[in-house]
Structure 1
Amino acid sequence: MDDLLAAPAETAGGLAVHGARAVDGSTPASTRQALVDADVPGRLAAQNPPLWDLRTAAGRPGSGAGLLPRLAELAAELADLDHVVLLGTGGSPLASQALARTTGHPLTVLDTTDPGRVRATLEDRLTRTVVVLIGSAEVTPEVDSIRRAYRRAFLDAGLSEAEAGRHLVVVTEPGSPLAAATAEWSAITVPADAPVGGRSSALSTYGLVPCALAGVPVADLLDQADAFAASLPRPQDNPALALGAALAAAATSGRDTVALVGDGTGVEGLGDWVEHLLAGSTGKDGQGVLPVVVESPDGPGLTGPDVLTVSYGGALAAGAVPVGGVTPDVAVNGPLGAHFLAWEYAAAVAATVLGVDPSDRPDTAESARHTEAILADPPPVPTPSSTTGVIEVYAPSGTPDDLPDALRHLLAGLGDHGYLAVTAYLDPHAEAAAARLRPLLAALTRRPVTFGWGPRYLHSTGQYHKGGPQVGSFLQITGTVKVDLPVPGKPYTFGELQAAQAAGDRRALAGRGRPMLHLHLTERSAGLTRLIDAVGSLRA
């Protein structure tokens, strides 16, 4: 790490990128120089449509400044509603969550259809809750079902239609599907200037409104981004260009996995947002950068022959070694507002080099279509290929029946170039132990292993799984719902929706011929304990 920090860094607006020039210089030809020769920095900064969708202009610093007085008024008007619940999918909620965590302000992001988690959130300070709905192009099943549940809960609590409307803030464009879906509420509406892709909306109305209501000083965020923005058109002294060129140079020379790890210097939760950004921007047309969020500096998966290790954080003092015994290839440090802008720009640069459109999401809707079909016409309940205690195993023919052997069979198929995606359709709070599987499996396989909560990941790494290089293997975990919750106005429950979303994703992956092992926990807590023990036994 000392050598990394001793080398010249690229800095602007308080953000520094260390190591990027060395990564670019390790390839036969400079990716960065090719980008400069093609005037990519200037074209990106100007939002040239072939490189960066014009719709992201609303997410650029400057546009948010005019919103600040309205946000201050809204926060004052709703000051008695101190439990802010954000409903949305994709990059906007993840950016808001990172900002709230970094600044220490409470914000509840509800992007799951797990009935236990939905019920627990509905029962938490209901009369003091303000629900923020964000979106434009589509109303996802999770947002639609949860907003229905909240409306019913407010009315059942004795609130009138007008009183319930005060508890709902909708951030969308006039005439959007979300505006139409919430028309029956007397909701507070904050219009968004233009449709902004979720991956590029951290600094837009979509990202700022929930954070302002949670008490986050969003003016500081915009100031940070504004101070950084002046560097974007420059061919030199442009940290975002340096970062994007390093990501692209690594990807095109065999290191197409990016291991992301926080360095402990004051930026919390950014990795989840960067994972969404990189996977969704680059994972299509058989191309892509696979992001892997590593839990801690000593977590497995930070190194490997096809891995670019990137640490991130706030202030980083010269001589500091914040990432344990692993020296990252690239270190990115600075204020969060600059981080958001730098990573959005860098992802667009990487996508440009890979030859894909960073704003396109051609594969994210496929699982949703399968989900709708399953809800409309439920298939017969399948028979497990084997059962181990409280774990039902659903595996393709030729897979061993024993649970540890079935796991070994899946892992053996990774080879030297594959990755494993663990996806859990469970309660991310009550069953948080499921996330322990990622480091355990990464240590076993020494291959990239990602972990995602369903259905959240469908809008991020789900795009990469289906549109990126087809080398992934999948371990899906579902669980029996003991106490279900109806979706008001729909002929199904949250548990049925959650199960259909998991099944829909399995169909989408099966259509691509990807290896899949589905484990169903008939008792969730006991099943997770048994599964973790089974993975641990594979070391023997």
Structure 2
Amino acid sequence: MTANATTVANPLQALATLHQSPWLDFIRRSFVLDGTLAKLVREGDIRGVTSNPAIFQKAMGEGTEYDAQMRDVLSTSILSPGALYEKLAVTDIQAAAAALAPVYEDSKGRDGFVSLEVSPYLARDTHGTTHEAARLWADVARPNLMVKIPATPQGVPAIRQSIAAGINVNVTLIFSLAAYRDVVEAWLCGLEELKAKGGDISRVASVASFFVSRIDAKIDAEIDRRIKAGDKQAPALAALRGKVAIANAKMAYVYWQEIMQTPRWKALEAAGAQTQRLLWASTGTKDKAYSDVLYVDSLIGPQTVNTLPPATMDAFRDHGRVHETLTTGVNDARTVMDQAEQLGLNLEGVTATLLDEGVRSFADAFDALLGSVAAKQATLMGEKLTSLKAHLPDELAKAVDSGMEDWRHAGTLRRIWAKDATVWTGGPEANWLNWLDVVDERRANLAELEAFQAEVKARGFRQVLLMGMGGSSLGPEVLAMTFGKHEGFGHLYVLDSTDPQQVAAFEKKIDPHHALFIVASKSGSTLEPNIMLAYFQDLAKRALKDRAASHFVAITDPGSKLEAHAKQEGFWKIFSGDPKIGGRYSVLSNFGLVPAAASGIPLRLFIDDALRGVRLCDASVPPAINPGVRLGIIMGVAAKQFGRDKLSIIATPQIMDFGAWLEQLVAESTGKLGRGIIPIDDETLGGPRRYGQDRLFIYLRLATEHRHEQDEAIATLIDAGHPVVTITLHSKRQIAQEFFRWEMATAVAGAILGIDPFDQPDVEASKVETRKLTEAYEKTGALPPETPFAQCGPLAFFADAANAAALKGAGSDAAAVLKAHFDRVKPGDYVGLLAYIERNRDTLEWIQHTRLHVRDAKTVATAAEFGPRFLHSTGQAYKGGPNTGVFLQITADDARDLPVPGSNYTFGVVKAAQARGDFDVLAERGRRALRVHIRGSLKDGLAALAKALHAAL
């Protein structure tokens, strides 16, 4: 033992004689609450505590000690797992700060600190780090807190700004002397800024955490590799094992000593500033060949801190040697550094790598921590949350797991929440992402909607008629079909058709004297809601005279033509949409919530359920347990890598209308650039042999519905090896959670497919063609003439030149034409039945029977759609998605027609123009399409078509 070495009963306590402070790198709630921390402090073993994500993960991810606080918090707040973790962590940090307060007071603010780390996700984000440091400082609100900020190039400016704001900072992840110099400069600048603005610099403490053992782990591994490879410098290399990290630390201390002698520091010291102490971090020995207290024994010196993991602390207490080692052997340390450079050990490269690895390691630990919190949160919330269970074939399951790990590693979800368009194509996507925030925004402004709901009830409306298309109608339709009529409120009807028979049917259900009319259009210039408004506003004016406007409500984006019209007409209410939310993502905005309010849905309960969905899809929830991301990756990977691009939606009866909304969201978002996912809604389940290898099944299951036959059919599909995702809702109101889950999932799937999920170029193309035809009618009084290429009884067949040529030779027999058309169906294709006829019970039964006949005959997916509503929904995918669709468009003579007030054309003309415009774009995109027009009785024509189809198939 050297002459200046000291052996005492407790070496930890003896470190104080050499002005070094031992801090413990550990925190746990039980460790604080049971008095263990206070005892260590009282006995002088430790003088501070540090925490990091890995430490919290072990504490929060194991056992039940945090369950009580979690339950208490979750009973009154709807939080993301990230926010929940912070509440738990802040509680622990505050308790530890209280235990360390005597040290802080006795040392006059020099010791007695507890450290809490800013999110490791912000390590490369200066602004984010600065903002979070200030927020954590305010939330913990304890003078002996230190906020941990990493010494990345982006973190250094945040260190300066935080010091200048009077925040105590523990700078972490310092590996190199160059990085340490930058940290010292930031510290000095921060103090100078605080002093210049009159702040108290005497109460601002800082440590610079210089990492030690990780350097030896890297350098020694390289030494061992080169020796094993027969390097001729093996003896010199071997002599450096276990020495470089300590030499590097000693050089940092030499630099600190030099700084302490500068006039710059002397001026700050005279004004009361504390020194920024070097703190030795990563002091647990990783190589068993070395002493377990090597990085404590070798780095003892004045004005420093050593932060020890529990095992190292216990080892040093047992057999540590207390003597000043930091200021001895400095020349030897310089020699080690010189030799390391001469031998090409590339310390600069090693420390750069260690910084990157440290950032990644802390982020990985934070992922694990938040994953543990999210899993525990889901368990505690139980049936307040919907659940997802995936049964996937092994190869698909492995690919999905790989995809989730890629997303976790890249932090892609955090980029979505940061509204980073490069997640998708780097185009205008960032302009369409306010759906991420709209639930919070609407909840904060719920009083407006609740007041409207109360007024609606007070006025006693017996019917509510919503007029809209696509995203403006399909969400409200889900609400109407799922929740039905509420006591004291009118029945919510949703009209999204230009079919004159359907418009007339809705007219019969409405008494203008007792009806509330809601017209919903984001752009305010969409053809269909405008002509519906014209018709029913005319109806109301004839019945109500000058009181008509008081029965009308508009939902539209600010500055639209509809807004101007509503103001001019004096509508009762005008609700604004958000221009940065697309129609199909708008159900949780006013476009869904205003109809919800008008129909009597309990708004706060509904929006709170939606908020639960938002929180569990938050950026803080790792992909593997994030409900939206997990589903989106399953969808995207299944479609892109395995050709399972037919998303078959099965739902129990009480929530089955959700599929119609979901169809639009998925199809219109993903179907473009020749790629996409084709949703197949309401296709009655068959046996496993009815399906090819292109399906992914989604089973939406309301737990309170006992649908044993559906459960059994799904189980049969799983047993046969088909991929099935089962989503269980415990109440109908949880449909609100599913709205957001599917919005997130669709955005994620779009990223995997490499498309912009927020545009709809081919929907616009159909609108253009329709506009051309209606303008032609306005000028001439007739649509352009057309001639069928075949006619059989009431059935007339039309096609463009390319499709007609493909069907040439089929003759004029209806069955033969249909056979020729459906003979073009290949494995992996789907068939779309696109019916521009009234949507009622009879036609729904007809189209369902027909689609199942086609499915069973061809073993392909079938879509059964009614026009024109599908134009604003699945129509985008049919035209812009993969060219795997074979389409039969069905049109018919109208039994009656209705005028559009203020226009030359009628509803029937508009519908005909939409059908022809739709067909023209299908043909232009090279789709296999055939149109059959029914002349005369629709009932007889559908029977004749069904007979011909049966014969053809």
Task: Provide the residue aligned with 1:409 in structure 2.
Answer: 820
Once residues 155 and 104 of structure 1 are traced to their aligned partners in structure 2, the CA distance between those partners, rounded to angstroms, is 28
CA displacement at 1:380 relative to structure 2: 3.7
SS in 1 for 2:915: helix
Residues in 2 aligned to 1:111 and 1:166: alpha-carbon distance in whole angstroms: 23
Match for residue 513 of structure 2 among 120, 127, 132: 127
- For residue 519 of structure 1, report the CA deviation from its aligned partner: 0.9
Which residue among 836, 852, 857 is the counterpart of 1:444?
Answer: 857
User: Counterpart of 2:785 in 1: which secondary structure?
Assistant: coil
Moved more, 314-323 or 448-457: 314-323
Of 706, 709, 727 in structure 2, the residue corresponding to residue 332 of structure 1 is 727
CA contact (8 A) 2:521 2:529 kept: no
Higher relative contact order (CA 8 A, sep 6+): 1
- What's 2:86 paired with? none
* C-alpha distance in 1 between matches for 2:601 and 2:400: 45
526, 546, 556: which one aligns with 1:172: 556
* 1:429-486 superposed Cα distances (whole Å, 9 cap, x missing partner): 2633442222222222211211111111111111111111122221000110132111
> What residue identity is the alignment partner of 2:450?
A
State the secondary structure of the residue aligned to 1:97: helix
Q: Which residue of 1 aligns with 2:625?
A: 237
Separation in structure 1 between the aligned mates of residue 507 and residue 591 of structure 2, nearest angstrom: 22
Alignment counterpart, residue 753 of structure 2, candidates 344, 350, 354: 354
> What is aligned with 1:4?
none
Query: More deviation in 186-195 or 440-449?
Result: 186-195
Cα–Cα, structure 1 residues 538 and 323, in superposed 2: closer, same or farther, change >3 Å?
farther
Q: Does 1:76 align with 2:489?
A: no
The alpha-carbon distance between structure 1 residues 285 and 155, as it changes in their structure 2 partners (threshold 3 A), is same
The answer to whether 1:531 aligns with 2:945 is yes
Q: 444, 460, 464: which is aligned to 1:66?
A: 444
Contact 1:300 1:443 in 2 (8 A): no
CA distance in 2, matches of 1:512, 1:244: 27
Equivalent residue number for residue 881 of structure 2:
468
- Displacement, 1:270? 0.8
* 1:431 and 2:843 matched: yes
Does the CA-based 8 Å contact 2:524-2:557 persist in structure 1? no
How far the C-alpha of 1:332 sits from its partner, in A, is 1.4
Amino acid at match of 1:423: L
Deviations 1:62-108 (A, max 9, x none): 21213432222222323322211111111242122112222223421
TM-score by length of 1: 0.91
SS across alignment from 1:96 = helix
* Structure ranking higher in helix proportion: 2
Greater Cα shift, 297-306 or 214-223: 297-306
How much has 1:132 moved relative to structure 2?
A: 1.0
User: What is the correspondence of 1:110-121 to structure 2 with a 5 Å cutoff?
Assistant: 110-121=495-506
Q: Distance in 2 between matches of 1:344 and 1:254?
A: 22
Is the partner of 2:630 in helix, strand or coil? helix
1:257 to 643, 646, 653: 646
Kept in 2, the 8 Å contact 1:297–1:323? The answer is no
Aligned to 1:137: 523
For 2:605, the equivalent position in structure 1 comes to 220
Q: State how far apart, in whole Å, the 2-side matches of 1:196 and 1:302 are.
A: 39
Distance change >3 Å, CA 533–CA 382, structure 1 → 2: same
Q: 1:299 to 1:170 in 2, by over 3 A?
A: farther
CA contact (8 A) 2:391 2:725 kept: yes
Checking the alignment, whether the CA contact within 8 Å between 1:298 and 1:323 is kept in structure 2 is no
Distance 1:314 1:53, change over 3 A: farther
Aligned to 2:903: 490
Shift of 1:147: 0.4
2:404 is paired with a residue whose SS is: helix
Q: Which residue of 1 aligns with 2:469?
A: 89
Q: In the superposition, relative to structure 1, how do residues 465 and 336 fare at CA in structure 2: closer, same or farther (>3 Å)? A: same
Between the aligned partners of 2:504 and 2:688, the Cα distance in structure 1 is 35
How far off its partner does 1:123 sit?
3.1
Deviation of residue 345 (structure 1)?
A: 0.3
CA spacing shift, 1:380–1:238, aligned 2, 3 Å: closer
Is the aligned partner of 1:101 residue 2:481?
yes
Identify the residue that residue 19 of structure 1 maps to in structure 2.
390
- SS of structure 2 residue aligned to 1:308: strand
Give 2:584's aligned residue. Answer: 199
C-alpha distance in structure 1 between counterparts of 2:700 and 2:411, whole Å:
28
Whether 1:342 aligns to 2:748 is: no
Alignment partner of 2:399: what SS?
Answer: coil
**Separation in 1 of the partners of 2:812 and 2:825?**
19
Aligned twin of 1:48: 420
**Residues 125-182 of structure 1 deviation map (CA, whole Å, 9 limit, x = unaligned):** 222221111222252211111000011111122421xx11111111123212321343
Tell me the alpha carbon deviations over residues 267-304 of structure 1, each in whole angstroms, 9 at most, x when there is no partner.
23111111111101111111101111134344899732
- Measured in 2, the distance between the counterparts of 1:180 and 1:64 equals 24
Aligned pair in 2 of structure 1 residues 46, 259: CA closer, same or farther (>3 Å)? same
Q: Compared with structure 1, are the counterparts of its residues 312 and 137 closer, same or farther at alpha carbon in structure 2 (3 Å cutoff)?
A: same
Instruction: Give runs of aligned pairs for residues 367-378 of structure 1, distance below 5 A.
Output: 367-378=766-777
Q: Corresponding residue for 2:675?
A: 287
CA distance in 2, matches of 1:478, 1:319: 36
Secondary structure of the structure 2 residue equivalent to 1:284: coil
One-letter amino acid of the counterpart of residue 522, structure 2: S
- Cα distance between partner residues in 2 of 1:516 and 1:22: 34
CA offsets per residue over residues 483-512 of structure 1, 9 Å max, x none? 211101111011111101101111111112
Question: Aligned partners of 2:499, 2:400: CA distance in 1, in Å?
Answer: 49
Based on CA coordinates, which of the two structures has the bigger radius of gyration? 2
Q: Retained in 1: the 8 A contact 2:466–2:519?
A: yes
2:915 is matched with: 502
Secondary structure (helix, strand or coil) at the match of 1:431 reads helix
Deviations for 1:357-398, whole angstroms, at most 9, x for unmatched residues? Answer: 111111111111111111222554222223322222224140
Classify 1:271/1:406 alpha carbon distance in 2 versus 1 (closer, same or farther; 3 Å).
same
The amino acid across from 1:191 in the alignment is S
- Please tell me whether residue 30 in structure 1 is matched to residue 429 in structure 2: no
**Aligned amino acid, residue 899 of structure 2:** P
| Mapped contact 1:259–1:301 kept (Cα < 8 A) | no
CA contact (8 A) 1:21 1:246 kept: no
- Distance in 2 between the 1:320 and 1:424 partners? 33
Counterparts of 2:882 and 2:670, CA distance in 1? 10
TM-score, scaled to structure 2 = 0.53
**Match for residue 545 of structure 2?**
159
Match of 1:453 among 850, 863, 866: 866
Tell me: CA distance 1:518–1:384, structure 2 relative to 1, closer, same or farther (3 Å). same
Could you tell me which runs of 5 or more consecutive residues in structure 1 were left unpaired when the two chains were aligned.
Answer: 1-7
Q: Quick one: which amino acid aligns to residue 493 of structure 2?
A: T
Q: How far off its partner does 1:184 sit?
A: 3.5
Check the 8 A contact 1:84/1:214 in 2, yes or no.
yes
Given the superposition, is the C-alpha separation of residues 78 and 354 from structure 1 closer, same or farther in structure 2, using an over 3 Å criterion? same
Match of 2:785 in 1: 381
Q: In the comparison of the two structures, how many residue pairs are matched?
A: 529
